[in-house]
A = this chain, B = another copy of it.
């Protein structure tokens, strides 16, 4: 079968990789994979990321339908983030990628 250029741009694996390839996205995924988390809690768990950049990465994940943002009407109001079913289905695949790198690539660390 001869593919078109557009096919390559829309190649399923490539599109999936692009969705999760942001600098902070794997670590965001890791933290969200154990359940909903408050924004400030997530921010404190990730070193050296500014709130602005973290919000931007979360917004991209939200736009991709991988992450859901919920505003709770508590006092004080609270914002939590959690994986959608689409995002949750990706989590075990990222976990396998993580295990692969731990086995085959020198010098990597597992975020835990």
Contacts and interface: CB of A to CB of B under 8 A. Distances in A.
A4 B47 CA distance: 6
A18 to B, nearest CB: 8
B27 A17 contact: no
Interface in A80-112: 86, 89-90, 93-94, 96-105, 107-112
- Give the size category of A's interface with B: 35 or more
A12 B19 CA distance: 17
A101 B15 contact: yes
Contacts of A52: none
Q: Is the interface of A mostly helix, strand, loop or mixed?
A: helix
A12 to B, nearest CB: 4
Nearest to A6: B109
A11 B107 CA distance: 9
A24 to B, nearest CB: 7
A12 B110 contact: yes
Contacts of A107: 10
Given A8-B27, A27-B8, A13 B109 contact: no
